[in-house]
Chain A
Amino acid sequence: MSVTEEIRNRLEQAFRPTLLEVVDDSERHRGHAGYREGGESHFNVTIRAAAFAGMSRIERHRAVHAALGKDLVGRIHALALDIGA
């Protein structure tokens, strides 16, 4: 399974989002620190789910980090998150 699919699966299961976009943005970072041949190092995630209502910004980010898991987060060089209810 690609990292993109793995991110998508874990977030779908955890939050049942109404909107979920997982974009591998690695190419834009070619030559920068953390870039790997084949991509899958830099991701932009946009997610909307009712589960985030009432959470602070930090809580939302922590919830996403927790759903992805330490192992997966550790393998990603950069993760830009746009989280909303």
Chain B
Amino acid sequence: MSDKFNPLHYLDKRLLEEPIQEKRVFDWKTHLLKRKKEFFDFKFIVINHNNILHNELLIQIQSNEQRTQFKIPEQPNVKNIFLLKIHDAEKELKEFFYLPNNSIIVHEDISIQKSKQDLNVICNKENEYYYLTNHLSPQLFFNKIEFKVADKLKCFFITLNNNQKHKNQITHYLNPHSVLVHKNFSDIQKEQLQDDSIEVIHSKYSNSDIFYESLNRGKISTQINSIINRTSIKCSTKQSIKHIVLDKFAITNSKPNLIIENNNVDASHGNSIGYFNSEDIFYLSQRGFTKEQIYSVLSDSKLIEFISNTSINKQLYFYIKGLKHK
């Protein structure tokens, strides 16, 4: 194994609540079928606090499309945190994640050149999935993510400091009795465009909670569809959307949609577009903060509030804080 793929080499200790236990074995297989030049540089880190016996990383590159598969075998009673960093992939990526039970995946993507990503996440029981982006590409970034939710899934999408057009198309396919919590936080800078489309397709007895927050200095368009068809009885779906406008030229379009075809459903939605509390702004100004500093601390505070209920919140906070200032 080359140094480049040594997980310890890239281990980010800020993510660890406790020191790593000594008794750990990493055993993974890497299959790189290079046909041309190496077209992406990625770092995969396996972090485990428990006595993990086996982890497998499988990377496949097929002939005509760039395709990556991450298969992590299930380990009963083991909670894993997996950190995947993609730093500078080129062109298009197609990725598959198969998540074992009780695992947390932190997927950071700060690619500069990549313009399209197609991601399929297949979840088992009680997974948490964090997708953190901090793209700098001037190109349109198109992100298509499909989740197949078997049991419980908490998804967290955090998009910071985009310097480009950014389009996210996220689809959740819920199985019967699936529970989904989807949280989305975006910080959009001036002259940037973000176009988010989130769709939740329910099966019977499934629940979804969608929280969407944005701080907008540029332009954002949000469409959230909760789809409950005739056979999807006894479903529950909630949408809570909050857009905070930070610039007088900012444009915010928000469409919360509940598409319901049966009567046996518990559904609600809230959608607001507004400003930061003017008294909070005055209070901070009165302590010497300029408007830009206020927006910066309030945006940080919103982010911290957003992640405060996550299971790895402390580590994630420091991690995101680091990410934000890259």
- Same complex for A and B? Answer no
User: Using a CB–CB distance below 8 Å, which chain A residues touch chain B?
Assistant: none
User: Using a CB–CB distance below 8 Å, which chain B residues touch chain A?
Assistant: none
